[in-house]
Structure 1
Amino acid sequence: MASITRRRAVSRPASAEAEILAATRRILTEGASFTDLGVQQISTAAGVARSTFYAHFRDKTDLLLRLATEMLSTSFDVASSWEPTEGVDKAAEDFLRILGIYREHAGVLRAIGEVATYDQTVRDFWSQGLARFTERTIEALRVEQAAGRTPADIDLVSAARVIVVGGERAIFDHITSAPPADDATFARELARTWWYGVYRRPA
């Protein structure tokens, strides 16, 4: 009996945490403003006590960053798996997968954009997340330069920032304003911008 009790004690907190994350994502997906969203509302939607919320998260910002971490980590795994040797069509496929991830977390994406306007912690977190994509792009461009497939005069840092930061803004705008039916076309054009622009591949 003692061992069963211990197993339950371990599983219940994990379940409560998952419920809080899922409930918040659901509320945000339905269009709620994160700024106006209260801890009590989140706790009620998750079916947990307010004290349980604070047992897992320091505050609402901590909760938002946890949600955003999941989104960024999943999209980074997809983005970093692409190699230039796989070509522009594979890049378009991967961008479409990334758009799908962002669609799934659209409410979280909007919340990040909302809170980042007034919260330095969230701004810094998002900037650091994009820095991972920038570093990965610089690495890929450096390899392409060494292989002679990308011109040697490209400034790696500037080029990477243009396509990562610019791409992030474009994706944010697309996800929050365009229908899912447009995702494939957008992914294709984003891939071609990378391929024919920064990577300087001939048409």
Structure 2
Amino acid sequence: MSTPEKRPSSSPARRAEVRSRALAALEGFLRAGTRYPDVSVEAIAKRAGISRSTFYLYFRDKTELLVDATDWLKDLVFEVRLDRGADGSLGDLPGYVSSVERVIGRYREHSALLGAVNHEAEFDERVGATWSGAQRRYISWVAGILREEQARGLTAGSFDPELAASILVTGGEQVIAKHIARTAASEDTQLAQELGASQWFGFFRRPN
């Protein structure tokens, strides 16, 4: 008689715990300088304090863990909300710059994981598709804000919000990724000021 296939726990808390521990283990190796391709499932499981069999109950392979990391990184950015006025419109430039600086800080905190995701997205279809999908959701969110600001007459109504949001998000992420890889955290405020001002006046408060 064959042994029934073991299934992962349906408990959301257990699933979240395993995911968190596995991601933390992977990120620990990456921060220490180990390349993603050189990190084994066995090493991740050992560092996470779980068995290999438990790892495979929740992830088909190491790539699926990185796919989870991709969504998790985007969720961190989504958590940074923009300051709003009493009427729901965006606040002011200092408030927007502060939001940009918080985004930079979160990406810097997880720079090793971000670097692995960006690199693997170029070569692995699953990682690339997840990263692109998460980016599209973020672009759609920004486009919605731009439409609201256009409807309020606070920015020019002559540009395409979707195209503008795509430029803002993809361009901003490239600038931030290169900045984090090449400069110290002490320069993050200056980048936030320059990037924030260019986005604010170029998109959110563009003159007619």
What TM-score, normalized by structure 1, do the two folds share? Answer: 0.86
The structure with higher relative contact order (CA 8 Å, sep 6+) is 1
- What is aligned with 1:20? 22
Question: How many corresponding residue pairs?
Answer: 194
Over 3 Å counting, the alpha-carbon distance change for 1:80 and 1:176 in structure 2 is same
Preserved contact between residue 72 and residue 129 of structure 1 (Cα < 8 Å): yes
2:100: which partner in 1?
Answer: 95
CA RMSD across the alignment:
2.3
1:2-40 per-position Cα deviation (integer Å, ceiling 9, x unaligned): xxxxxxx99777644432221111111222211221111
1: CA distance between counterparts of 2:121 and 2:206?
Answer: 36
Paired residues for 1:1-203 under 5 Å:
15-79=17-81, 85-201=90-206
Partner Cα distance (1:163, 1:190) in 2: 10
Letter in 1 for 2:110: H
Q: Which runs of 4+ in 1 moved over 3 A?
A: 9-18, 79-84
Q: Which runs of 5+ in 2 are unaligned?
A: 1-10
TM-superposed CA distance for 1:77, in Å, is: 2.0
Stretches of structure 1 that go unaligned for 5 or more consecutive residues are: 1-8
Please say if residues 83 and 90 of structure 2, whose CA atoms lie closer than 8 Å, have aligned partners that are also in contact.
Answer: no
| Aligned-partner Cα distance in 2 for 1:16–1:155 | 42
Answer 1 or 2: which has greater helix percent. Answer: 1
1:85 Cα deviation after fit = 2.6
1:98-153 deviations in Å (ceiling 9; x for gaps) = 11111221111011111111111111111111112211111111111111121121
SS at match of 2:122: coil
In the superposition, relative to structure 1, how do residues 163 and 11 fare at CA in structure 2: closer, same or farther (>3 Å)? closer
Which letter maps to 2:157? A
Distance 2:72 2:61 in 1: 18
Quote the sequence identity (%). 34
Query: For residues 183 and 138 of structure 1, do their structure 2 counterparts lie closer, same or farther at Cα, with a shift above 3 Å needed?
Result: same
Distance in 2 of aligned mates of 1:13 and 1:164: 31
Amino acid paired to 2:59: F
